[in-house]
Amino acid sequence: MVSEATNTRKKSVLWDWLTTVDHKKIAILYLIAGTLFFVKAGLMAVLFRIQLIAPEMEFISGQTFNELVTMHGTLMLFLAVTPLFFAFANYVLPLQIGARDVAFPFVNALGFWLFLSGGILLSISWFFGGAPDAGWTSYVPLASREFGGIGIDFYVLGLQISGFGTLISAINFIVTIINMRAPGMTMMRLPLFCWTMLITSMLIVFAFTPLAAGLLLLMLDRVFDAQFFIPGEGGNVVLWQHIFWIFGHPEVYILVMPAFGIISEVVPAFSKKRLFGYTSMVFAVLIIGFLSFMVWMHHMFTVGVGPIANSVFAIATMTIAVPTGIKVFNWLFTMWGGKLRFTTAMHFAASFVPTFVLGGVTGVMLAMAPVDHLYHDTYFVVAHFHYIIVGGIVLGLLAGLFYWYPKMFGHKLNETLGIIFFWVFYIGFHLTFFIQHILGLIGMPRRVYTFLEGQGMDTMNFISTIGAFMMSVAIIILVINIIYSALKAERVTEKDPWDARTLEWSTNTPIPEYNFAQTPQVRSLDPLFYEKIHGNGEMKPAEPLDDIHMPNGSILPFIMSIGMFIGGFGFISFHMDLFISPYVLIAIGGITFFGGMAARSLQNDYGYNIEKETVESMEKELS
Amino acid sequence: MADSVDVKKGLPANPEKATLEGKNKFLGMFVFLAGETTMFATFFGTYLGLRSGTASGPEPADLFQLPLVFIMTMILLTSSLTSVLATYAMKKNQFGKLKLWMWVTFLLGVTFLSLEIYEFVEYYEHGLGYTSSAFASSFYTLVGLHGAHVLFGLGWILLLLLRNRSRGITLYNAPKFYAFALYWHFIDLVWVFIFTVVYLMGIGG
């Protein structure tokens, strides 16, 4: 009665992508959008590194420098790294747990479109009076109505909208992992990438909501003249820092946790060994997740919160080094005595370990409250967090890209070009950022658009900029690799090109929309590897072949996101001279968004069934 | 398929959690409310940090009238009770009772919201504008956000009732009613904290 035959109607390509609720297609959308923001933010970094190549350069103005620095940080953290991890999570996570789809396909699509519309809203600030310029942390009073430009309004509303998308995606991931695992996939057999995504998603639920609250407060201050951060009217500026960092520190782990997960998948696959200390890895992730909420004030040692608070937060911060150390040693022990294959993915995974450790060590240095007065707001801090973010997170992302590429696109990336890319990127990265530790120690401040001659900073800044150029060249090599591989590389038809261990490699390539014709029966950790040793190398089915129920596509997520975009722009336009009143824009946006919600709840959406015979013929065709 | 279960032969004991979709909605709602809790916690923290920042404007003790707030609290608590009764009716497959108690919940919610609007107008006339002081901003934001949640809940329940007015209880719509009930309890819980932290502490110190 309910199999409305929507799947038989032929859709145009564009309509198909705008209405899709298939987690694999949403993953590709995330990958494309995240990459665009990544490249954009990277180019911004190159621009301000050119400004810093020599003393007293006048390549860009101080104002532009502030805007570029702010946008570089904001885009990288909110609109590049998280979406790229969501791309992998969306694609791989349901496959790894043996599910046909995520728990809420509609919400998943809505999450993507909201993220994108928030990102676009943030990006168009350049055309409406300037980008945000108060740093990615947007501290008041620098970001208040009195001192901050209109760009801050774009910052506040763009992040609010894209953050909402991130939040609902996270809820979706949590429910998917907890409720939709294949039979036999107990929590302690869950692949580590799923574990880290689960904890990441929980961190998002508990950290993005304070951010949403903080952004709302800042918006009310700026647009509706509230007094939260105005000391003269009883407000408090340090309040912003508390709210921001109680989000901001977990955010670091929101970014790095999935990288931990990817490394924990790639290292065993290319070491031909089970991950060393699986259980301790899981508990390390849990402990790190918990502790990440206990340390926010280490970003505020120099604010003057007092010696007791400083001591407590310094100790709590250093405690995080313990579970992190457990993880690092587990990766090393996994490789120890393994049959290592140095593919490009493994290059990235193996090089992740020392660079991440270096970032961690400088982290412990910064955690010492008294010494932090020396490091505070210098390039030492910049170097530290880029060792975590580039030397950890980006290397993890690239390892994941090379590892899962055959599953996602049906062909491998070229390995020779990949390894050239790795070395150019890796050397460029160290040239850029290692030297910034020393620059920071001799006193070069962050966020200052130029420096004077004869302070011993000329050569080091020059080298740093050359490193940034090298990383850009590396990214160009990656783009060439992607194009070359798409044109030349052999199609991968086998299911398991890497001889890997987890469930995603047991599916056909390309993956049919229902993922698994029959839900697999999981019998061990590393289920595919277990079947290779104890069975015929194929997963045993946990259910008979039957009709498969799939969700219908919907254009509503797209429309609702446009509504959010218009409404968000309305709130910003209070400080603009537009031909249309802000209230009208807000009303249009609100009606579109909530109208979309109402339409969704009023329609009958039972999805459709793929008949058993269709599944059989599709499976035959693929294998 | 969820909807093809014949309800005349009786629903399962927990129709809201009988299907995977229902289980997903149930868990998803709880996770969402966990996030909401954190968000409200941030607003509570803001209020507590700023409530003495009255900038020589009206102070909490000048404004708050316990009788009105007490009546509002009672109304909202009762509405939570009626939504429980609706959930019980749902589990017993009594569609008429479900609708009745949901409508009662709706009306109590509307009454509460009207009183809140009346309260805000009253304070405004006593000189507490939104921009008067940090206390004013944080008070109106915290309590107003709760009010916005009530409003959203009222729209939600209205849509549910209109959509399902003649459908009976199915495995498809039972999770939806249940998710609403969870949300409504959450709103109630937040109000208990507002009553304590904002009003009682505002008057008693």
Domain residue spans of chain A? 25-554+605-622
Q: At residue B4, does pLDDT exceed 70?
A: no
A213 with B39: Cβ contact below 8 A: yes
Residue pair A200/A172 in contact (Cβ under 8 Å)? The answer is: no
Specify the CATH number for the domain of residue B27: 1.20.120.80
What percent of chain B lies above the pLDDT cut of 90? 72
Question: For residue B70, what are the domain limits?
Answer: 20-54+66-204
Question: Which of B23, B45, B134 minimises the CB distance to A235?
Answer: B134
pLDDT on residue A10: 65
| Per-residue pLDDT tens over the stretch B18-53 | 888 899 999 999 999 999 999 999 999 999 999 999
| B1 falls within a domain | no
| Per-residue pLDDT tens over the stretch A101-130 | 999 999 999 999 999 999 999 999 999 988
Q: How many domains does chain B have?
A: 1
| B158 falls within a domain | yes
Q: At residue A383, does pLDDT exceed 50?
A: yes
A233 with B1: Cβ contact below 8 A: no
ipTM higher than threshold 0.90: yes
| B5 falls within a domain | no
**Rounded to the nearest 5°, which phi and psi values hold at A520?**
-75, 155
| B7 falls within a domain | no
**Per-residue three-class SS string for A45-78:** HHHHHHHCCCCCCCCCCHHHHHHHHHHHHHHHHH
What is the CATH number that goes with domain A25-554+605-622? 1.20.210.10
- Shortest CA distance from A203: residue in chain B: B35
Residues of B in contact with A602 (CB under 8 A): 159, 163
pLDDT on residue A9: 58
Cis preceding-peptide flag for A83 (omega within 30 of 0)? no
Whole-angstrom CA distances from A517 to A24, A98, A410, A507 are: 16, 11, 19, 9
Residue in this structure with the two tokens 């070229």, named with its chain if needed: A414
- CA dist B111 and B103 (Å) reads 12
Alpha helices in A342-457 (DSSP H): 344-366, 369-375, 379-388, 395-409, 415-441
| Per-residue pLDDT tens over the stretch A554-595 | 999 999 999 999 999 999 999 888 889 999 999 999 999 999
- CA dist B107 and A277 (Å) reads 57
Pick from A169, A156, A324, A319: which is nearest to A243 by CA? Answer: A156
Query: Helix or strand or coil: residue A550?
Result: strand
| Per-residue pLDDT tens over the stretch B52-79 | 998 888 888 888 988 999 999 999 999 9
Query: At CB < 8 Å, which residues of chain B contact A?
Result: 1-4, 20, 23-24, 27-28, 31-32, 34-36, 38-39, 41-43, 45-46, 49-50, 52-55, 130-138, 141, 155-156, 159-160, 163, 172, 176
